[in-house]
């Protein structure tokens, strides 16, 4: 079970290392760099400004963060609500 889930925005994505820079949406604006992206997420959908879910395996320990899901569709405007199409990563938790 994750320690904490946070909504965030994609700031950038490095396809070579499969890491992202994200800005957490709640609380004090916080930007995390080199956050691993779960293997089941298509890198083409990690566009700047797209909403994502960041899972912290240890609550608020940035070293334990991983981009767990992206929300909406790649063409959605920033703040488009998300949830219309969730690319979740069941493989991380051994699901289907």
Q: Please tell me the CATH code under which domain 4-93 is placed.
A: 2.40.50.230
Q: Which residue has the tokens 């089941």?
A: 40
Structure tokens at 94: 């051994």
User: What pLDDT is attached to residue 2?
Assistant: 53
Average of pLDDT values for 69-79? 68
- How high is the pLDDT of residue 33? 94
pLDDT one-digit tens code per residue, 19-53: 999 999 987 878 999 999 999 999 988 999 999 99
User: Most distant CA pair in the chain: distance in Å?
Assistant: 36
The DSSP H or E segment spanning 35 is strand 30-36
pTM over 0.85: no
Report whether pLDDT(83) > 60: no
Q: Of 3, 21, 4, which Cα lies nearest the Cα of 12?
A: 21
* pLDDT average, residue stretch 49-60: 89
Evaluate if residue 14 carries a pLDDT over 50: yes
């Amino acid at each position: 079970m994750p320690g904490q889930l946070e909504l965030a925005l994609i700031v950038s994505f490095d396809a070579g290392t499969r890491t992202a820079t994200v800005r957490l949406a709640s609380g004090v604006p916080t930007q995390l760099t080199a956050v691993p992206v779960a293997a089941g997420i298509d890198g083409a959908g990690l566009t700047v400004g797209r909403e994502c879910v960041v899972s912290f395996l240890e609550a608020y320990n940035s070293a334990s963060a991983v981009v767990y899901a992206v929300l909406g569709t790649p063409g959605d405007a920033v703040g488009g609500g998300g949830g219309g199409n969730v690319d979740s990563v069941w493989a991380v938790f051994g699901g289907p």
